[in-house]
A and B are shown apart, each in its own frame.
Chain A
Amino acid sequence: MLMNKQKHILLATMLTVVVALVLGGCSTKVANLSQEKIKLGYVGPLTGDLASIGNDEKRAIQLALTASGRTDIEVIFEDSHCNGQAGSNAAQKLVNVDQVQLIMGAGCSDATLAMLPIIQQGQVVLFSSLSTSPELTKVGGEYFFRNAPSDDKATEVLAKLIKNKKIALVSENNDFGQAFLNDLKVKLAEFDTTPVADEIFNTGTTDYKTILQKVKESKAEVLAVISNSPVSNGLVIKQAKELGLEMAYYGTDSIAGSEFSDTAQDAAEGVYAILVAANTADDRVNKLLQLYENTYLEGPASDAYTVLSYDRMNIVLKAIDAVGYDAEAIRNYLHTINYDGLAGYTSFDENGDSSILPLVLRFEDGELVPVQQ
C-alpha cells in the first residue's frame, strides 16, 4: 500500500503530530510551574455568525481584568468556531491541558451543549454570559451557571407588553430564535393572544422585504423581531421603514449596540428593546461602554452582552478571592452570592439561572432609555 518514501513521510507526519501535542502539553505545564498564575478558560464564538458578540465578551473580560489590577490571573481564550466539535475540543483542552477550574462560555448553543458532558465529567464550572435558552435550566447540570437570564423571563416581559394586540413575529431560524419564539407563543396563548403573522428567516438573510410584505398584509400593529444578530435586527427595521410599515417594533438584546445602530441608523427611532442588561440609567454602565469605546476605538456590537461578560469576570474574581480557585468551592459560593453588578443584583438559583430581570428600553433621539412600566 505504501512505498518506502511514503512510509517515511507518514512516519514523519505522525511523529510531528505527537511531538507537537506533547510539547504543547509540556509547555503549558512548564508555564504553570514557573509563573503560578491562576488560569481561567474562555470558550466563545470568536469567528462565525456571532463573532462580533464573542469579541465583545472577550474584550469585556480583558477590561474587567485590567480594571481589577490583578496580575496573577490569566485568561486563556479559545475559539469555539460556533460549532460543537471545536467547542468540545476547546473545553477538553482547557480542562485537561491547562487544568482550569472554571470556563467562561459559551455562546452558540451547539458549542455550549457539546461542552456540558465535558465540564460535568471534568468537574469544572462553566459560566455563560450569552446562553439564554430556557432549556439550559434543565440540562445545564450542577456545574453550569449563567448570568444571562433565561429567555423565559424575557418572553414573560414581552408577552405582557404586547398582549391583546395584533402581533407579527419575525424570528431567526436558530436555537435562540426558535426557543424564544415557542416560549413567547405559549405565554401569549395564556393571554388569549394569537399572532397574526409568524415568519421565520434563516441566519444570514439580508433581504426581508417579502417577509415584511406578509407582515404588512396581516395588518399587524406590533412587530416583534427575535434574532440574536444585530445586523439582522437592523436590516429588518431599516427595510420596514423603507417599505413604509407603521407599527410598534420590539426587539431583543441584540438591539443594544453599535452594530444594530449603524445598520438601522435613524430607522431605530422608537424601537423597544427587551434587554437583559445595559441599563443606561446606571452610570457605571455608561462608564463601561465609554471605556470600551476609548480602548477599542469602536462601540460594542452588543452592549448587553458586554455588560454581562464584564460582570461575569468580576463575579469570578470575587469568588476566587473568597474561596480560592477550586471548582467545588466556587460552585458552592456562587449559590450564595448576591452581587451588585452593572446588570443588576445577581444571584443564582439551584439551576444556575441568574436573578437578573430583563429591562424594557426604547430608542429616543438615538439613545436607548429605560421605559417606565
Chain B
Amino acid sequence: MDFIVQLAIYSAIASIAAVSLNYVVGFTGIMSISHASFYGIGAYGTALLLTKTGLSFVPALLLGVLITGLVAAFASVPILRLREDSLMLVSVGFALIIHSLMLNWQSLTNGPRGVKSIPRPEIFGISLTDKNFYLVLCLVLLVLTIIIFYKITKSPYGTVIKGIRENEEVMKNYGYNVSKYKHSVFVLGAIFAGLAGGLFASYIQYISPESFILLPSVFMLIMVILGGMGSIGGSIIGAILITVIPELMRFAGLPSSFAAESNQIVYGIILFALMYWRPQGLFGKYKI
C-alpha cells in the first residue's frame, strides 16, 4: 500500500543518514549535531541542480553529494578542534549558521520560498515517478551504504578509528595522525548524509529551510542513540522506529486535542529513558 511504501522510503533515507551519523558519533565518538545540515546541503544541492540546470538525476545527486563533502571538509577544520560538549555546541552553532544561510542567501536558495517542483529521477531516459521504483532505488543505496560502512569498520582503518574513540592520546603516541583520521570520518559521514538529503529532495519534491533546522539533527542523533552507538543494524532500527512511531501514533486514536503534544512528549520520554536505562541504545556497543 502506498502509505507503507512511503514510510519505507522515508525510513530508508533516514537509515542512510543514521548509519553515516553512527559512523561519526557512535563508532568514532565525534559528537556532531550538524548532520542534518549536511543532509540539508545535499538536499539543496541536488534540488537546485535538478531545477535550475539541465542535469539529470544521477549527475545532480553525485554533484550534490560532492558539494556536501567539500563543505564538510571546510567545516571539519574548526569543528574538530574541540572535544565532547564543546564540539557538540560548536556543531549546533554551525547547524544554525547553515540554516541561516539557507534562509537568507536568497539568490542561491530562494530563501524561505524553498525549491519547488523538484522532479523525480529520470535514469537512462526512464522516468521513475512511481513510488515503488523509488523505494527500490533507496534500498539499493541503503544496502550500498551498509556494505561500505561495514567494510570500513572491519578494516584496519576501522581499528585505528576504534582506537581513537577509546583513547586519542594513546593513538597519537603510537604515531597515528589522529586529526587526519577524524577529518576523513567526518567528511565521509557528511557525504552520505548529503546522499540521503538528495534522495529526500527528489522524493518529496519541495524543500525549504524549515525542513533542516535543529530538530532534524536531534532526531538523527536520537536514531543513533536509540539504535545503539557503534551498531549499524541498531542505527537502522533506530531510524525506522523514529520515522515510523509518530505515524503509528496517528492510529492510536488519541483525541486530537492532545495527540500532537503527546507525540512530542513521547520523544522526550524516550530520550530521557534511554539515557537512564540504556545509554548504549538497543544494540549499541558503546555508551554515549
For the complex, give the distance between the alpha carbons of A156 and B256 in Å. Answer: 38
Report whether B241 and A17 are in contact in the complex, using a CB–CB cutoff of 8 Å: yes
Report whether B208 and A109 are in contact in the complex, using a CB–CB cutoff of 8 Å: yes
For the complex, give the distance between the alpha carbons of A186 and B205 in Å. Answer: 28
* B248 interfacial contact with A, CB 8 Å: yes
Interface hits, B260-288 → A, CB 8 Å: 260-261, 263-264, 282-283
For the complex, give the distance between the alpha carbons of A77 and B283 in Å. Answer: 36
Question: Nearest residue in A to B283 (C-beta to C-beta)?
Answer: A6
By a CB distance below 8 angstroms, the chain B residues around A17 are 240-241, 244, 248
By a CB distance below 8 angstroms, the chain B residues around A175 are 112-114, 208
Q: Which of A25, A51, A113 contacts B116 (CB 8 A)?
A: A113
Q: Which of A9, A10, A110 contacts B208 (CB 8 A)?
A: A110
* A164 interfacial contact with B, CB 8 Å: no
For the complex, give the distance between the alpha carbons of A9 and B246 in Å. Answer: 21
* A323 interfacial contact with B, CB 8 Å: no
Report whether B248 and A58 are in contact in the complex, using a CB–CB cutoff of 8 Å: no
By a CB distance below 8 angstroms, the chain A residues around B261 are 47
For the complex, give the distance between the alpha carbons of A77 and B111 in Å. Answer: 30
By a CB distance below 8 angstroms, the chain B residues around A202 are 103
* A84 interfacial contact with B, CB 8 Å: yes
For the complex, give the distance between the alpha carbons of A114 and B47 in Å. Answer: 14
By a CB distance below 8 angstroms, the chain B residues around A25 are 1
The interface bits of chain A over 114-130 (1 if a CB of B lies within 8 angstroms of the residue's CB, else 0) are 10110000100000000
Report whether A110 and B256 are in contact in the complex, using a CB–CB cutoff of 8 Å: no
Q: Which of A6, A114, A139, A177 contacts B204 (CB 8 A)?
A: A114
Q: Which of B4, B104, B117, B259 contacts A21 (CB 8 A)?
A: B4
Give the size of the chain A interface in residues (CB under 8 angstroms): 53
* B36 interfacial contact with A, CB 8 Å: no
* B18 interfacial contact with A, CB 8 Å: no
Question: Nearest residue in A to B2 (C-beta to C-beta)?
Answer: A96
Q: Which of A1, A77, A89 contacts B10 (CB 8 A)?
A: A89
Report whether A20 and B264 are in contact in the complex, using a CB–CB cutoff of 8 Å: no
7 extra interface residue pairs, beta carbon distance < 8 Å, beyond A25-B1, A173-B111 = A2-B233, A2-B283, A6-B233, A84-B206, A89-B247, A95-B3, A116-B205
- Which residues of B does A touch, CB under 8 Å? 1-4, 6-7, 10, 103-104, 111-114, 116-117, 150, 200, 204-208, 210-211, 231-233, 237, 240-241, 244, 246-248, 250-251, 256, 259-261, 263-264, 282-283
